[in-house]
Structure 1
Amino acid sequence: MSELRARIAGVGSYLPDRILSNDELSNMVDTSDSWIRERTGIRQRHIAADDETTCDLAEIASRRAIEQAGLTPDDIDLIIVGTTTPDFTFPSTATLLQARLGVSGGAAFDVQAVCSGFIYGLTIADNFIARGQAQNVLVVGAETMSRILDWTDRSTCVLFGDGAGAMVLQAQEPGGDAATEPGILATYLRSDGRFKDLLHVDGGPSSTGTVGHLRMLGNQVFRHAVTNIAESMSTIATRTGIKIADIDWFVPHQANQRILEGVARRLSIPTHKVISTVADHGNTSAASVPLAFDRAVQDGRIKPGDLVLMEALGGGFTWGAVLARV
């Protein structure tokens, strides 16, 4: 019996109302609009309201994705939330979301892979569907990164923003040509804990008893990001026999415009094929890939039948890629 295919049935996203511009940020820390734009490509980011939690953002994005899929919350039998900024140490944000949506069955859990959380979540969902253990899976990337930033550290606070993106994967029976049918074609995950000190949060329940703040050695992260992301994308292409040049759209983790351009140059990807939202959203960690994907669907760039390669790298390090035909 052939494995079931995980088809992208719907996407949705949400950004908080408050926009923090570079100019406004320059009144809070020693920086400027030109300094930030030159080094990151970012011009603004969205910041959650004081009473707005990660689950709040996730709920709105999820409802939009479920509606676009033509489903109701009752149809969802698995929820996976990629986040590094959960509402609580426990229970998981996914179970909170399950209750908010009114999903009475199935299972729900969080994935902690930082900026790669959504890519990890898609991979897990794909495996659940392939084994016949889930029919409609809601995969969410949601973050309130503003809660763990040191707003006196200009090397990190200028980079990040808040937001959520969601995608519904639906099981479908395999048909004729697997390469031309909608669905996830291949996934690839990796991690390397030796590089923890390059990108981490300096707190935690069992170490300091505090939430801590995000710390990063930017130049070293940049080098690893370009190398590892390009490697994951090349591996996916090799495994599927699909040339990088034949892929319609690349939806990368929106960490830094320079990283996006560095990967594109290394793989000879035309810039018009790279979906970039980093200027408007900043780095929204696990939310960045689904946010960018949804924008490209909404503005008509990503269309049914297109080949889309999604990728990310996060603290830990974690990294990976997912190739899907829409």
Structure 2
Amino acid sequence: MGIKISGTGSYIPSEVSCNSNFAEHEFLDKNGAKFEFSNDIIIDKFKDITGIAERRYAKNHLNTSDLAYFAAERAIESAKVDPETLDYIIIAHNFGDVRHGTVQGDTLPSLAVRVKHSLGIKNPKCVAYDLIFGCPGWIEGVIQAQAFIKAGIAKKCLVVGAETLSRVVDKHDRDSMIYSDGAGAAIIEHTDEPGGILAHESATFAAEEAYFLFFGKSYNASIEEDTRYIKMHGRKIYEFAVTEVPKAMKSCLEKSGVAIEDLKKVFIHQANEKMDEAIIKRFYRAYKTPVPEGVMPMNIHKLGNSSVATIPTLFDMVINQQLENQKIQKGDIIMFASVGAGMNLNAIVYQC
């Protein structure tokens, strides 16, 4: 018995925002003071660290649940399954539907219920729920789907990661340039084929790390004080991620029984190019092995950080050979790994 991804889909918004679009922004430090250097320098340094040259934003009339629905439709079509046969719909996100021009997240009803409604599924035994697990939410949804299938209470599950982070950023914060919108989806189902999910690892570090990502007020004191935006302690997140994520990846690989040489691709959450490069180097260093060329696909340069959507979107692009010099073949062993708010992290070893 195998539990495999039988279909994938993604929705990449059409609105492109280049780094040059931030040239006239008023960036402030956490104390509300202007920086001594120009925006050109801020933007150049940002590009050097994150690798992000542009990002995608959803059109004003679209919400997170809409993006999730578009990606879900494509995954269902890819897997060639009848939506009425889905046992679970799991939607990973962070802020619900934040309508353009508003600051309030809407999760009533849940995004999963909204997606089920949009798909026109009438079967009441198709259970729809939301998953809040930070950026690793889509991977955690896949792990939960596997658990349902292994327990015999499900045969097919739809797992989606979707977000519109562009609507919860403080435009006076340099970190606002990181975030983007998007959605990725997958159908997880039982199959008689070998392979599928070979091992997984999850953890929550909340003793000292719980508030590395948090909601905070704008750096501009003239803006409504009670309005909150996504904020982060970037250096702390970086140090945590490059230390703990490689450990989780190693633990997961060892559980799977797969040799490091047999790992063909590693899909890491597209958060920060320098951070992801440090994670992959530390992971391979643990095996005294050089990082293989092309083992870590990346799309952050053009899509930015769309949180829970980064890995399923990246995976869908590689599956469909939409990234240059990146492809996956049947039987290949790959890994998914992510880290985010919580601080939560996880990993999956998977055979295609």
Q: Same fold (TM over 0.5)?
A: yes
1:302 is the counterpart of 2:328: yes
Residue 270 of structure 1 aligns to a residue whose secondary structure is coil
Structure 1 runs of 4+ aligned residues shifted over 3 Å read 29-33
Question: Contact (CA 8 Å) 2:247, 2:283: kept in 1 or not?
Answer: no
Question: Whose helix proportion is higher, 1 or 2?
Answer: 1
**Counterparts of residues 255-266 of structure 1 (less than 5 Å):** 255-266=271-282
1:66 is the counterpart of 2:76: yes
CA distance in structure 2 between the partners assigned to 1:5 and 1:133 by the alignment: 15
Identity, % of aligned pairs? 31
1:14 is the counterpart of 2:24: no
Q: Which residue of 1 aligns with 2:297?
A: 275
Q: How many residues align?
A: 312
In structure 2, give the amino acid aligned to 1:138.
Answer: L
- Structure with greater Cα Rg: 2
Q: Which residue of 1 aligns with 2:100?
A: none
**1:25 deviation in Å?**
2.0
After superposition, give the CA deviation of every residue in 1:21-59 in whole Å (9 maximum; x if it has no partner).
Answer: 101122324434422211110011101122110011011
Q: Which residue of 1 aligns with 2:206?
A: 193
Q: Which residue of 2 aligns with 1:311?
A: 337
**1:210 deviation in Å?**
6.6
In structure 1, give the amino acid aligned to 2:160.
Answer: V
**1:211 deviation in Å?**
6.7
Q: Which residue of 1 aligns with 2:216?
A: 202
Residue 136 of structure 2 aligns to a residue whose secondary structure is helix
1:148 is the counterpart of 2:165: no
What RMSD over aligned residues (CA atoms) do the two structures have, in Å?
A: 1.8
In structure 2, give the amino acid aligned to 1:266.
Answer: R
Question: Contact (CA 8 Å) 1:264, 1:271: kept in 2 or not?
Answer: no
**Counterparts of residues 58-207 of structure 1 (less than 5 Å):** 58-87=68-97, 88-105=106-123, 106-154=126-174, 156-173=175-192, 181-194=194-207, 195-202=209-216
Question: Contact (CA 8 Å) 1:5, 1:129: kept in 2 or not?
Answer: no
CA distance in structure 2 between the partners assigned to 1:196 and 1:291 by the alignment: 27
Q: Which residue of 2 aligns with 1:291?
A: 313
CA distance in structure 2 between the partners assigned to 1:163 and 1:189 by the alignment: 24
In structure 1, give the amino acid aligned to 2:79.
Answer: A
CA distance in structure 1 between the partners assigned to 2:300 and 2:247 by the alignment: 22
**1:264 deviation in Å?**
1.6
In structure 1, give the amino acid aligned to 2:153.
Answer: Q
5+ residue gaps in structure 1?
Answer: 176-180, 204-208
In structure 1, give the amino acid aligned to 2:46.
Answer: I
- 1:107–1:29 Cα change, 3 Å: same
5+ residue gaps in structure 2?
Answer: 28-38, 98-105, 218-224, 285-290
CA distance in structure 2 between the partners assigned to 1:296 and 1:29 by the alignment: 37
294-303 or 282-291, which deviates more: 294-303
Question: Contact (CA 8 Å) 2:4, 2:195: kept in 1 or not?
Answer: yes
TM-score (norm 2): 0.85
